[in-house]
Amino acid sequence: MPSMRLSPRAVLGGCALIGAAALAAAVVSQHAFGFEPCSWCVLQRLIVLLLILVCAAGALMGTRERPRRWPAWGALPLALSGLGAALWQHSVAAVSADCRLTLADRIIGGLRLADVWPSMFEATARCDEANLPMLGVPYAIWSAVLFLLIAIASALAARFRPNHMFLQS
């Protein structure tokens, strides 16, 4: 049976593409369907944007596998922090009416991202309003799944050994 090898380059490129699709879906759902983001949503958007940049950089590196591990290792803490933010949004922030002065609000406000790119980084909803369901599942859970998958994929890419196979068919 022929074997199929999934390289770190493909994994990181896939993570960047999935992240870009998720970010685009969040922005479209905001501007076309009225899903307004809270501070925690905006923080997750920032983390996804950083993940896209790190994973794309790893995918676009040269053909040598060893240097590509650094972006993969860099993506792992970003994905885990995004997972933490999504779970916090779902379990704590979504049951609170006020997002002001939370960690997310301080990070986003301190970086002044809403001044630079308001259509992407302006929090326009309260936390209890922002975790709306999409296809019956709250947005924060979708986000948590995305971050978990990217964390697993980046860990696999970082631990890749050229003589081992990721997948076998």
Q: What is the DSSP string of 25-94?
A: HHHHHHHHH-----HHHHHHHHHHHHHHHHHHHHHHS-S-HHHHHHHHHHHHHHHHHHHHHHHHHHHTGG
Q: Which position has the token pair 């922005």?
A: 27
Token pair for residue 150? Answer: 């990217």
pLDDT of residue 169: 39
Report the SS3 class of residue 110.
helix
State in words which class domain 8-158 has. Answer: mainly alpha
Digit-coded pLDDT (tens) for 118-168: 999 988 888 877 777 778 888 889 999 999 999 999 998 887 655 554 444
- Tell me what percent of the residues of the chain surpass a pLDDT of 90: 46
Amino acid residing at 72: A
What does the pLDDT look like over 32-67, one tens digit per residue?
988 899 899 999 999 999 999 999 998 888 666 555
Q: In angstroms, how far is CA 71 from the centroid of its own chain? A: 15
Cβ neighbors of 46 (< 8 A, separation 6 or more) are 107, 108, 111, 113, 121
Query: What band does 96 get if pLDDT is binned at 50, 70 and 90?
Result: confident
Q: pTM, whole model, 2 decimals? A: 0.86
User: Which position has the higher pLDDT, 146 or 71?
Assistant: 146
Give 45 or 100, the one with higher predicted confidence: 45
pLDDT reported for residue 168: 43
What is d(CA 165, CA 106) in angstroms, rounded to the nearest whole number? 43
- Give the per-residue pLDDT at 128: 79
Q: What is the mean pLDDT of the chain?
A: 85
Element of type H or E holding 151: helix 139-158
**2 vs 102, residue with greater confidence:** 102
d(CA 44, CA 144): 10
Apex CA 68: angle with CA 63 and CA 70, to 5°? Answer: 160
Region 6-19 average pLDDT: 90
- N- to C-terminal Cα distance for the chain? 7
**What pLDDT is stored for residue 47 in this prediction?**
97
